Amino acid sequence: MRTTLTMAIRCFVACCMLPMVVSADEDGPVQKINAEAANAVVSTTALGGGLSVLSGSGGNITVLDGDEGKLLVDTGISVSRSRIAEALAGISSRPVRFVIDTHYHWDHMDGNAWLHDTGATIIAHQNTLTRASRATRVDDWKFTFPPYPSGARPTVLVAAKKEMTFNATQIEIRYYGPCHTDTDVSVYFKAANVLATGDTFWNHAFPFIDNENGGSIDGMIRAANDNLQRADVRTIVVPGHGPIGDRAQLTEFRDMLVAIRKKVADLKAKGMSRVQVIAARPTAEYDEKWGQFVIDGAFFTQLVFDGL
């Protein structure tokens, strides 16, 4: 099913490279991804310390389970509700008490509404509430997202940093500043040494950068360096997309971002247009490893170019 979902997302990326349209196609890429997510297999990986990761619906979902109930980092796509609920029940019968949104994108917080309806309190950066409360256009996705229903919006807001204890586990939520978007936070589980990065880290994949809504390549590099400062050689790193990683993979990701940024910036400084820079293939040496999941080298070049 991962392969099928990946094919749908690649179709989505291809659509992103077409000339901009005024409104989303009724059968556009977001709808296609949702259709695939409705049937995606949601798998569970135990991390220890009461923590697990659910993969298969949108971004990775980190789950902390214990006597007080469950806490989720991100909630996936709502059409996967039955499969996410089944995976959560496979961990325990305890209810979800808290949700932490790493950022505002639908593939990470679209499940907020149904989880709120079951009793979960939603925590996020204050900018996530702002973006969730109004229509948000993402031209690179050729889609305008409507406001989230009130129940899906966060009610506990983070400014720079928030610490909480749940299931006898210390949890630290930290705002990155503008990076992937202007809404991103990390979630660190201290005792287990698990860092959930949201979309500031895509393991072995070029990341999406939401240039229109606070993101930039320079912000992504700053966030990557922040992740590296917080991780040691034993840290388990949960990326927004891709397999569970570690500090070495964070380093590799940061170095890739830095190298491609320099190549694109140098070409742009020569007066080359976006089309010319894409044709020069500044990502060529990275495409085989990093361009095979969601975003290919041409589209990533466009994102970097537009953000400089």
Residue-number span of the structural domain to which 95 is assigned: 2-307
Predicted pLDDT at 140: 84
Predicted confidence at residue 5, as pLDDT, reads 46
The CATH number that applies at residue 121 is 3.60.15.10
Average pLDDT of the chain? 91
Per-residue pLDDT band for 29 (boundaries 50, 70, 90) equals low
Longest dimension (CA), the chain: 60
The band of 27, judged by pLDDT with boundaries at 50, 70 and 90, is: low
Can you give the pTM of this predicted structure?
0.90
Higher pLDDT, residue 142 or 91: 91
User: Distance between CA 133 and CA 148 in Å, rounded?
Assistant: 6
Q: What is the Cα–Cα distance from 142 to 145, expressed in whole angstroms?
A: 10
Q: How far apart are CA 56 and CA 41, in angstroms?
A: 6
The encoded tokens of residue 37 equal: 């997510």
The count of structural domains within the chain is: 1
**Separation CA 173–CA 187 (nearest Å):** 5
CA distance 195 to 115: 23
b/e string for 226-248 if b means 16 or more Cβ within 10 A?
bbbebbeeebbbbbbbbebbbbe
Instruction: Collapse the DSSP code of 137 into the 3-class scheme (helix H, G, I; strand E, B; otherwise coil) and give the result.
Output: strand
The two tokens of residue 80 are: 């996967």
pLDDT in tens, 140-182: 888 899 999 999 999 999 999 999 999 999 999 999 999 999 9
**pLDDT higher than 50, residue 214:** yes
